[in-house]
Amino acid sequence: MKIIYIANARMPTEKAHGIQIMKMCENFALHNMEVELVLPKRFNQIKEDSFKYYGIRRNFKIKKLPCLDLVPLDRYIGHLGSWVESITFNLFVFPYILFKKADIIYTRDKFSLFLILFKKNLFFEAHTFPKNYFLYSSFLKRFKKIIVITQKLKDFFIEKRINTDKILVVPDGVDLEKFNIKDTQEECRRKLKLPLDKKIVLYTGHLYEWKGAQVLADSSQFLPEDMEIYFVGGTDEDVRKFKVQNSKLKINIVGHKPYSEIPFWLKTADVLVLPNSSKQDISKHWTSPLKLFEYMASKRPIVASNLPSIKEILNGNNSLLVEPDNPEKLAEGVKGALKNPDFSAKISNQAFQDVQDYTWQKRAKKILEFIKYD
């Protein structure tokens, strides 16, 4: 069977969705699917091959179609650049897909939803609830199956009269082998030239407000001298702004690192932090953070925001949950995790056991079983 995966994404990208897309294509292929990933030809400062960049098996094909890429001009023309890129990409997607034979056409791009008018074998994976839902409702109601990453997303679609049997909730996942590395904490710190005599509090990912990066930065004021916070990730522009914004705080902002290096960063940590904000729905209800599953696979204690989206995976047995948007409470959680080594070991081990159910291969299997059998 053949699956065409449509993704309007710059690839490779330093953003998490690139990992998710590539891992899903790899694992669809591992389930004996012939997979073709359709992407736009976009300007990209990352010149490395996508398979090499993410450490992905070359078991599927990538096809890049033309588009008018004005996204780099977003800072001058706002969202117009993104809209133009999306529309022009889909103008090329339409004829390409129309005459292409595939058993399954899979997309997480809302601009591709109109294809359901011409292809009945189109399946949609939703990572957020679409703004201006009325623009998409007539298309979404035609879908046989929709995949979502949180229960709350499913609830939103049901409220809009999408049949519950048409919706599968399947969170994101992790490659356990990549993150359960054999190197010791000391070996990882020496490799990355990090201090051996400090407690390291680590955050990986982007520095967006809704991810709570600033809350973690502010929590540094409530931590003792022997604890250091490290931020790993972010675009060059966001890192620059974050450094300026926090120039007076004692934090370490190392910027984007190759994906292959992240397991070693996680192993250096004494505590891993997931400080998502409660102020935006994407954080409170819709997100299924890749870093969450990577944290769990790393056997390190997790301190996370007490939010509905996070609590679909985490609980008091596998993490320490704290009040969101409160730097002082976050610092108390970090200190609490470090104060009790037995407790930290207990929640770390439980998280590692729990994450066994969230591999990319199991995710791909669930989705394929759901969409192949109506």
Q: Where are the domains of the chain?
A: 2-173+359-372, 176-357
Model pLDDT for residues 126-177, shown as the tens digit of each residue: 999 888 898 999 999 999 999 999 999 999 999 999 999 999 999 999 999 9
Model pLDDT for residues 50-92, shown as the tens digit of each residue: 999 999 999 999 999 999 999 988 888 988 999 999 999 999 9
pLDDT at residue 373 is higher than 70: no
Contact 176, 356 (CB under 8 A): yes
Measured CA to CA, the distance from residue 244 to residue 252 in angstroms comes to: 12
pLDDT attached to residue 244:
97
Measured CA to CA, the distance from residue 257 to residue 300 in angstroms comes to: 20
Model pLDDT for residues 31-45, shown as the tens digit of each residue: 999 999 999 999 999
Measured CA to CA, the distance from residue 331 to residue 270 in angstroms comes to: 14
Q: What is the mean pLDDT of the chain?
A: 95
Model pLDDT for residues 317-337, shown as the tens digit of each residue: 999 999 999 999 999 999 999
Model pLDDT for residues 346-367, shown as the tens digit of each residue: 999 999 999 999 999 999 999 9
The answer to whether 2-173+359-372 and 176-357 have equal CATH topology is yes
pLDDT attached to residue 180:
86
pLDDT attached to residue 138:
93
Q: Which CATH class, in words, describes the domain spanning 2-173+359-372?
A: alpha beta
pLDDT attached to residue 74:
83
Measured CA to CA, the distance from residue 334 to residue 322 in angstroms comes to: 9
Q: Which two tokens stand for residue 61?
A: 């094909």
Model pLDDT for residues 198-249, shown as the tens digit of each residue: 999 999 999 999 999 999 999 999 999 999 999 999 989 999 999 999 999 9
pLDDT at residue 111 is higher than 70: yes
pLDDT at residue 20 is higher than 60: yes
% of the chain surpassing 90 pLDDT = 94
Q: Which two tokens stand for residue 325?
A: 């948007």
Assigned fold of 176-357? Rossmann fold (3.40.50)
